[in-house]
Structure 1
Amino acid sequence: MKKLVLTGAAGRLGSYLREPLTQLADELVSTDIAEDIGTLYDGESYVQADLADLDAMIDVLKDADMVVHFGAIGDEAPFEDILGPNIIGAHNVWEAAYRNGVKRVIYASSVHAVGMHKIADNIGIDAPHRPDTFYGLAKCFAEDLGRMYWDKRGVESVHMRIFSCAQVVAPRSLSTWLSYDDLIRMVTAAITAQTVGFSIVYGISNNDRAPVHNTGAGHIGYKPQDNAEQFAETVLANAPPADPTNLAQMTIGGPFATIPLGESGLATMTIVDDSKKT
């Protein structure tokens, strides 16, 4: 490929994607609303741009082959805050992709698009939307947007329902962990797959306790290699007793299933900021 675009390049997950994405195209254009993202890798350039600005997205995606769309508010927030970057921003990325003839959008969707499903249901990629927050609702919108742009305009997309892409520090992560290496494997597979049309894949590692399955997504070629079970003894030794009446422990959305709409879910969790520095 000649040109890849990465939105959300200043974020924690974006920081791990930048270097490997430079290996997949002659040019990587990273973009975010931050003033800068540190030292650039060989073949990488940076453009400060707002997802809610359609003209800016059209300019950034000019001559791109594909776009890896990770830009958004990454937590529950009031609907009026989610609307610009997460909903209007998704529309602008797909519309800019269509106008520029971009082949494929690789989208960072989320477990929270289906977060109210029960763990015991062991859902697959065909499970209906069941969002747990405004944040999850925005992911549902983008998934439906991607399906429509494939059906009506021929823009391919892969929607990666990402789970817990962070250090394993709590019992829930033993089932929901996505390692950074598996994140890179999944994004690479979504880019290099021959054809995808409209596709959904769960962004989760090869965990023994995984609450979902990727049956039906084999054409993408994502083969996770890491397993959170290696952390089980340490994590469970320090954990309080399980509570089967706690909805946060019964649903795949975890604590996002129980927080009031519009209030932060990450504030109830322990997320280590181990962003990759350049």
Structure 2
Amino acid sequence: MKKLVLTGAGGRLGSYLREPLSKMCDELVSTDWVEDIDTLYPGESYVKADLGSLEQMEAVLEDADMVVHFGAIGDEAAWDAILHSNIIGAYNVWEAAARKGLRRVVYASSIHAVGMYPKTQRIDTEVPHRPDTYYGLAKCFAEDLGSLYWDKKGMESVHLRILSAAQVNNPRSLGTWLSYDDLIHLVERAITTPITGFSIVYGVSNNDRATVDNHKASFLGYQPKDNAEQFSKAVLAEATPADPTDPGQMCQGGPFASVEIGFSGTASMNIVQDKKEI
């Protein structure tokens, strides 16, 4: 592959994707809205760009084969902020990709597009949307956008409904964990699968306690290796008793299901910011 573009390259997940993506192409263009991302990998360049600008997205995607779109506000936030980066930003990526003739968009969707389903219901990739926040609603928009651009323009997209790509330190994460190695494998399969059309796949490791079902996305060849059960004894020993009346504990979206719309869903999640350093 000649050129890949990675949005959100300055973020935690982007930091783990940059090196493997740089090895999959002649040129990796990493982009974000921070001033720089310090040391670059061989074949990688950095461009500061605003997802809210269609013109800037067109410039970044010039001559690219595919875009891996991880750029967005990664939490629940006020409507105007979500609208700019996560909704208008998604439109700009898809529209720029279509105008520049890209074959495929690989998109970091989220469990929060279906976050209000109960964890007692094992959900597959074809359940109707049921967002838990503005953030989840934006993921629904981007999934439907990908479907529209496939049907109308023939541009493929793979939507990775990521559950919890962070260290396992709470009971919910025993079922939702996506290890960084499995994240990389998932993105690689989304890029290299010959034909994807419009596809949805859950981004989750091979956890015994997973509550989502990927059998309808098996053609991607995603075979996660890691299992959060190795952490269960320590995590459960520290956990307080579960509250079955709390949507944050009963629903797929975790704390996002219980917060007021517009307020942070990650504030109570104790996410370790273990960003990869070169």
Amino acid at match of 1:63: D
Q: What is the CA distance between 1:206 and its match in structure 2?
A: 0.3
Aligned to 2:139: 139
Aligned to 2:267: 267
Does residue 233 (structure 1) correspond to residue 240 (structure 2)? The answer is no
| Aligned ranges 1:235-254 → 2 under 5 Å | 235-254=235-254
User: What stretches of structure 1 of length at least 5 have no aligned partner?
Assistant: none
CA distance in 1, matches of 2:62, 2:84: 22
Q: What's the TM-score, normalizing by structure 1?
A: 0.99
Identity %: 67
CA distance in 1, matches of 2:227, 2:38: 31
CA distance in 1, matches of 2:158, 2:178: 17
User: What stretches of structure 2 of length at least 5 have no aligned partner?
Assistant: none
Aligned to 1:126: 126
Aligned length: 278
CA distance in 2, matches of 1:43, 1:242: 48
CA distance in 2, matches of 1:266, 1:149: 31
| Aligned ranges 1:189-268 → 2 under 5 Å | 189-268=189-268
CA distance in 1, matches of 2:124, 2:61: 32
Aligned to 2:4: 4
Aligned to 1:103: 103
Show CA shifts across 1:46-84 (max 9, x none). Answer: 000000000000000000000000000000001111001
Aligned to 2:38: 38
Aligned to 2:59: 59
CA distance in 2, matches of 1:221, 1:100: 28
Q: What is the CA distance between 1:269 and its match in structure 2?
A: 1.1
Amino acid at match of 2:157: S
Amino acid at match of 1:159: H
Aligned to 1:179: 179
Q: What is the CA distance between 1:38 and its match in structure 2?
A: 1.2
CA distance in 2, matches of 1:256, 1:75: 9
Aligned to 2:89: 89
Q: What is the CA distance between 1:202 and its match in structure 2?
A: 0.1
- SS of the counterpart of 1:5? strand
Q: What is the CA distance between 1:225 and its match in structure 2?
A: 0.5
CA distance in 1, matches of 2:20, 2:273: 20
Amino acid at match of 1:263: F
Amino acid at match of 2:70: F
CA distance in 1, matches of 2:26, 2:78: 39
Does residue 74 (structure 1) correspond to residue 50 (structure 2)? The answer is no
Q: What is the CA distance between 1:120 and its match in structure 2?
A: 1.0
Q: What is the CA distance between 1:268 and its match in structure 2?
A: 1.4
CA distance in 2, matches of 1:213, 1:65: 30
The root-mean-square deviation of aligned C-alpha atoms, in Å, is 0.5
Amino acid at match of 2:92: N
Aligned to 2:166: 166
CA distance in 1, matches of 2:131, 2:268: 18
CA distance in 2, matches of 1:164, 1:11: 15
